[in-house]
Amino acid sequence: MNIKQVGIVGTGQMGLGMAQLLAQQGIKTISVKMTGGDVSTKQTQVEKSLQRLVDREKITEEQRSNTLSLMTITVDLHALRNCDLVIESIVEEMDKKQEIFSQLESIVNDHTILASNTSTLGITELSTAVTRKERLVGLHFFNPATVMKLVEVIPTLHTQQETVDGLVEWINSIGKTPVVVKDETGFIVNRLLTPYIIDAIRSCERGLSGVAEIDTAMKLGCNHPMGPLELADYIGLDIVYHMSSNLYDTFKEPRLTPPPLLKTLFVAEQIGKKSGLGFYDYSTTPPTPRSF
């Protein structure tokens, strides 16, 4: 599949991470900041990320410059009209994603593949917002996109097999490992991961043990690189809240409902590392586990 230019809708951690990943692979990217306003902060964020790689001798200064030359950040969705692939990466809310796809279909070319980076939402339901359903697919990259190797590929009953095969080939070409997954809420990873995280939150909530102790137990007892509460903070408690809610809405299993503590932190906008507070306080080095 000949993908020379990729659009990314959303400039959060995942959106910018995917754009940087692809630009480092020599692919021109256009990222659209959906909240409007100045894009200079986002540009600076990318520049700092690449500079850290230079400082750690992971890339050269020339590679940094080349990557930046391939990245454009804008607030104009119409800038994506000539992209071969557009990946949506906004908030995990069905209606907002459908609205974006409806707008995109009126902007992009007929050959453009539309994809969602959703972590849990059904791709078939998302596709009801477009008429060219055969060109829409799920492409779930993992955070940080520049490091994590897996990409879940989620076709619908409408998606052309040619499109799926082409995307699998393309994902391999950018150094990632594709896994084709049935279109069912949560796919593989988050279908298994989300119940694990919310069970850890409930264990903390009920006083089974403290935040640091729960994380230490799972790291040392199961050889996990991160504990479940540390991981929840890293993912973002807003995202974990939506993942839990989406799974419950589909399967109606009480254990999948967001625990009260998770909802409280979500409402308080204490959503983990990106806000500075979550299960840990990130104003200190190392982060301080909180008591609940």
- Cα(86)–Cα(19) distance, integer angstroms: 11
> At 31, which helix (H) or strand (E)?
strand 28-32
| Torsion angles phi and psi, residue 234, rounded to 5 | -70, -45
Q: Using alpha carbons only, how large is the chain's radius of gyration in Å?
A: 19
Q: Select from 33, 245, 35 the least CA-distant residue to 119.
A: 245
> At 32, which helix (H) or strand (E)?
strand 28-32
Q: Cβ–Cβ contacts within 10 Å for residue 62, how many?
A: 9
- Cα(7)–Cα(11) distance, integer angstroms: 11
Q: What is residue 115's three-state secondary structure?
A: strand
Contact in structure between 188 and 177 (CB atoms under 8 Å): no
Strand order in the sheet with 5-9: 71-74, 28-32, 5-9, 85-88, 113-116, 136-141, 150-154, 177-180
Catalytic residues, which ones? Answer: 119, 140, 152, 190
User: Token digits for 158?
Assistant: 């409408």
Q: Cβ–Cβ contacts within 10 Å for residue 96, how many?
A: 12
